[in-house]
Structure 1
């Protein structure tokens, strides 16, 4: 690849970052309905022609940002090919790599999640995240125990409960400035998946 091509790619990436950072900043302050393309270009310090080279309008920008983030969120949580269920949980002090990756992804894109899940954010985002988590956990439950007759209650109920807890922990972490590391959060999450409400029992070890 020529130096000219590399420099062009870097300039495009820098421009896209400027646009997206400006957009998220404005979303946080004003909400989507009150943002204009002019607001975005002025905040990013680019001209309108540059914006329209990459996006049709602010709706296209929003969709592309969200779709990209949700694809990365899904990828981070996916199981590897030929997954072996016996290696999923070694012990409750060793969370699955996919749990850690999911928290690391959120750290890397914390501005996006804080804004989009905030008061001026995107109302449907948490639902999309919930669907991704639920589908992944359902797949894991099938791998762990494919026989429904061996499950203590309807699988859908268990998965829905665990999904709500999983997303709730992510939301708590964001709301509290991500004060714990991704590995720490992944460890607490797998403990809750394994033991649930027994952690409320005094003297539990």
Structure 2
């Protein structure tokens, strides 16, 4: 079914064309999806879920407030995340197209929520994580990452994903500016 998504013309594609391309019956399609809009929504959610499943990893980072001086958190391996984007560039390019505005909104919201969860994992409780103090840094980091991916795809991936990751890592604010930038794990980037 992703072949049709890659055509950039899905809004005009019929359920019949979807089922023919996927080599399934209309009954099977409607068993899984209410309609074409539901198919799109589920596909968008699946792509986002797979992206994070590929890139998220448990790691430890410094935390002066913890008893051990370190805390285990879920971070986003920048190298793995960009590798996923490179491998799935056709479907991501399509989903970032303006005909799919819900994808961008859902991805941005997901990035921000993951950054918030990362911030809340320090010191073991939510009382020490102030949403208002972290709203702008989380929005900035999520928007910067998403914008970088969109531009890279629009430029037909002119640079390798490894170079893109190293360049993005250099632009991340240091921990003094916002601890949330540590969510992007950069240790796996080829130096």
Give the CA deviation at 1:47: 6.1
Which residues of 2 match residues 78-97 of structure 1 at below 5 A? 78-80=56-58, 83-86=59-62
Distance in 2 separating the partners of 1:174 and 1:52: 30
1:25 and 1:78 mapped to 2: Cα distance? 26
Distance in 2 (alpha carbons) for counterparts of 1:145 and 1:191: 27
* Equivalent of 2:140 in 135, 152, 161: 161
- TM, length-normalised to structure 1: 0.63
CA distance in structure 2 between the partners assigned to 1:137 and 1:97 by the alignment? 9
Partner of 1:106: 85
8 Å CA contact 1:130, 1:164 repeated in 2: yes
CA 1:170–1:47 in 2, change beyond 3 Å: closer, same or farther?
closer
User: Which structure features the higher share of helix residues?
Assistant: 1
Q: Could you list the runs of 4 or more consecutive aligned residues of structure 1 that deviate by over 6 angstroms after TM superposition?
A: none
Q: 2:156 is paired with a residue of what secondary structure?
A: coil
Unaligned runs of 5+ residues in structure 1 are: 1-18, 87-95, 196-205
Aligned pair 1:138/2:134, yes or no?
A: no
CA RMSD of aligned residues (A): 3.1
Pair 77,141 (structure 1): closer, same or farther in 2 beyond 3 Å: farther
Distance apart, 1:117 and its partner CA: 1.0
Q: Which residue of 2 aligns with 1:58?
A: 36
Are residue 188 (structure 1) and residue 174 (structure 2) matched? no
* C-alpha contact (below 8 Å) 1:85/1:144 kept by paired residues: no
Residue 20 of structure 1 is matched in structure 2 by: 2
TM score, norm. by length of structure 2: 0.67
- Deviation track 1:105-145 (CA, whole Å, cap 9, x = no partner) reads 1122211111111133x111111111222122233445578
Secondary structure (helix, strand or coil) at the match of 2:77 reads: helix
Consecutive unaligned residues of structure 2, counting only runs of 5 or more, are: 63-74, 175-191
Equivalent residue, structure 1, for 2:188: none
Q: Per-residue deviation at 1:46?
A: 3.6
Bigger radius of gyration: 1
What is the CA-CA distance between 1:53 and the residue it aligns to?
7.6
